[in-house]
Amino acid sequence: MSVNELNFAAVAGAEGRANAWRHWLWLVTAATDGLVVTVTVGLVSFAYHLSAYGGVPDDQITIELALMLASIFVFINAMRGRYQLANYLSTKGQIASAFSVWNVTLIAFVAILFLAKIVDHYSRAVIIASYLAGIPVIALTRSAMVRTISIASKTGRITSERVFLIGREPDVMSFVSRHQPWNVGFAIVDVAFLRSNDARRINDPAAALAADLASAVATCRAKQPDAVFIALPWSDQETIDACVDAFMNLPVAIHLTPEKIMDRFATPHIVRTGSLSSLRLTRSPLSLGEIALKRSFDVLAASLILILSAPLLLAIAALIRLDSPGPVLFRQRRYGFNQQAFRIFKFRTMTTTDDGNVIVQATRHDPRITRIGRILRRYNLDELPQLLNVIAGQMSLVGPRPHALAHDREFERKIALYARRHNVRPGITGWAQVNGLRGETDTNEKMAKRVAFDHWYIDNWSFWFDIAILLRTVLSKKALLNAR
C-alpha cells in the first residue's frame, strides 16, 4: 500500500454522516434491545392468554411486565458497556454475552418481585415463556445488529474513531497493512512521518525530532481526531516518550500500535498487580471458577451415567470374556492435563493390548479387532469405562481426545504447538470428534486439522459449549459412527 492509497482510505471513511452516526449508535442499539424485549413479552403474553383463556391479556399488566424486563435488560447491558460501538464490530462472543445478560435480567426481575412482595401479580407461565422465547429472539437480533454495524463500518458509513497516525514510515505502513484500521471503523484523518533517524539528511536528530513533532502536533490540532496512534517499536523508548509528551497537550487518546507478537493472540490484556503492569498475552485456559464448574459437572454426570449404565457394562464385560481370551479392560498410558501420564480405561476390542514405544493404529478392517470389538467401536461403547477416569480426575467428559504416548511423541515433533492440547483435561468426546475428525490419523494433515479444532475448543471454552458438544455426541449419527 502506498502513502496515496492510505490517504484515500482515510478520506473515504472520515467524512459525511459516518462521524455523526457513532454519537447516536449507543441510543439506537439500546432502543433496539428494549423494543425487542418489549415486543417479545407482549406477543408471548397475548399468545398464552389466547390459548389458555381464549381471550386477550390485561393491557396494563402486560405493559408493566414488558417494560420492566426491557428496562432491566437495557440497564445491565449499559452497565457492562455493551452499547459501545467497539462491541459491535465483531460477532465473536456476542450471543454468549446477550444470553448471559438475559439470564441476569430474569434473576434480577424475580428478586425485585420477591422484595416488592408482588410475586403473584404477574403470570409465572408468561414470565417463563418470555424468557425461553427471548433466548433465540435476542440472539438473532444481536447477531443481525452486529453484522449490519460491522458491514457499515467497513464501508465507511459508520466511524468508530477518527485516528491520527505518527511514526516512521516503515512502521506506520506495516501497522496499516497488517491491521487495516478502516475495517474496524477507524477513519485515518492524517499521517505524520518522523524523519529524525535519517542520518544522511539530518545532522541533529534531536532537533529534527522536535521539529517533526511540532509540525505533527499542529496538524493534529487542526484535524481534531479522537485518538493518536504512535507507530514505533516499543524498544524505542526515547522517541515514544517524546511523542507522548508532545501529544499530551492535545485533548486526544494516545495509543501505541501493537507489536507483531500481539498479532498471534486474540485477547492480550494489560494486567496490574500493585505497582507492576504487564502485557498478558495468554491466560490459563480456565479460571478457578470455571475449573470448579466443569469438574463438578463431570463428577455428577459421570457418576449418574455410570450408575444407569451398570447393567450394560456388565453385559459387555461378559460378552468380551466369551468372545476372545484376554482381559475385559484395556489399559494404556496417555497424556493428561499438563502432560501428566495416566492409564486410560477402555473395553478391550482387539486381540492385542499394545502400550509400548511403537503402537500400530487400528484401521477400518483391522484383523486384530474382535467380533464384539467391532460392535463396541462402531457405537463408542468401548469408551464407557473412561467414566472411571473422569471420576478419578484424570479426564473430563469433554476435551481433546488423548492419544497413546508413542503417537503423542511422534506428532509433537511434527505439528507446532501440538502439546498445547494438554492445557486442559482430555475428554471422552470433543469438538474435533463431533465435527467428524476421529478415526485413523494416518497423515500429518489429518492430525493437524484435529489439533486445530482442539486448540479452538481450548480458546473458546464455556460450560454451554461443553453441553452442546455432549448433545451433538449423543444425537449426531455422524459423531456416533465416526467417533474413534
Per-residue pLDDT tens for 392-427? 999 999 999 998 888 888 888 888 888 899 999 999
429, three cell numbers: 468426546
Under the banding of pLDDT at 50, 70 and 90, the label for residue 354 is low
Lowest mean pLDDT segment, chosen from 20-24, 121-125, 146-150, 434-438: 20-24
What's the whole-number average pLDDT of the chain?
Answer: 84
CA-based nearest residue to 168, from 233, 228, 254: 233
Kindly list the domain boundaries of the chain, sorted by start residue.
Answer: 20-154, 160-280, 288-482
As a dihedral over the C-alpha atoms of residue 198, residue 201, residue 203, residue 208, rounded to 10 degrees, the angle is -70
Q: What is the pLDDT of residues 140-155, one digit of tens each?
A: 888 888 888 777 776 6
Distances (CA, A) of 143 to 13, 97, 104, 423: 24, 11, 20, 31
- Please name which of 171, 161, 188, 178 lies closest in space to residue 231, comparing C-alpha atoms: 171
Each residue's pLDDT tens digit, 289-331? 999 999 999 999 999 999 999 999 999 999 988 888 888 888 8
Cα distances (Å, whole numbers) of residue 137 to 36, 40, 44, 122 = 8, 8, 12, 22
Give the pLDDT confidence score for residue 369 in this predicted structure.
80
User: Residue 188 has which C-alpha cell?
Assistant: 485515518
Residue 439 confidence (pLDDT) above 70: no
Of the ranges 193-197, 241-245, 270-274, 360-364, which one carries the lowest mean pLDDT score? 360-364
**What is the b/e burial string over 131-141, where b = at least 16 CB atoms within 10 angstroms of the residue's CB?**
beebeebbbeb
pLDDT category, 361, cuts 50, 70, 90? low
Mean pLDDT of 34-39: 93
Q: How far is CA 46 from the centre of its chain?
A: 37
Q: Is domain 160-280 classified as CATH 3.40.47.10?
A: no
Per-residue pLDDT tens over the stretch 330-352: 888 889 999 899 999 999 888 77
Are the beta carbons of 30 and 2 closer than 8 angstroms?
no
Distances from the Cα of 259 to the Cαs of 13, 78, 239, 262, 291, in angstroms? Answer: 25, 32, 16, 6, 32
Mean pLDDT of 440-450: 79
Q: pTM for the full model?
A: 0.63
- Per-residue pLDDT, 324: 85
